[in-house]
Structure 1
Amino acid sequence: MPKFLIQATYTPEGATGLLKEGGSGRWAAVEQVVTDLGGTVEAMYFAFGEHDVVIVLDFPDLVSMAAVSLAVKASGGLLTQATPLLTLAEIDEATRREVAFRSPGD
Structure 2
Amino acid sequence: MQKFAMFFSYSPETWAKMMAKPEDRTSAVSAAVEGVGGKLDSLYFMMGEKDGFVLFSVPDTGTAAALALAVNSTGAFDSVQTTQLIDAVDLPGVLRVAGNARGTYQRPGA
TM-score, normalization: structure 2?
0.85
Match of 2:86 in 1: 86
CA shift, 1:93, in A, is 0.8
Q: What is the match of residue 2 of structure 2?
A: 2
Give the deviation of 1:105 after TM superposition: 2.1
Q: Which runs of 5+ in 2 are unaligned?
A: none
Distance 1:21 1:60, change over 3 A: farther
What runs of 5+ residues in structure 1 fail to find an aligned partner?
none
Q: Corresponding residue for 1:102?
A: 106
Once the two structures are TM-superposed, the CA of residue 23 in structure 1 deviates from its matched residue by 4.7
Q: For 1:31 and 1:5, how far apart are their aligned partners in 2? A: 14
- Give me the whole-angstrom Cα distance separating, in 1, the residues matched to 2:86 and 2:23: 28
Judging changes above 3 Å, is the alpha-carbon distance between structure 1 residues 29 and 49 closer, same or farther for their aligned structure 2 residues?
Answer: same
Structure-to-structure mapping, 1:66-81, within 5 angstroms: 66-78=65-77, 79-81=79-81
CA distance in 2, matches of 1:29, 1:40: 12
TM value normalised by structure 1: 0.88
**1:57: how far off?**
0.8
Alignment partners' CA distance in 1, 2:41 and 2:73: 24
Q: Which structure has the larger Rg?
A: 2
Q: Percent identity?
A: 30
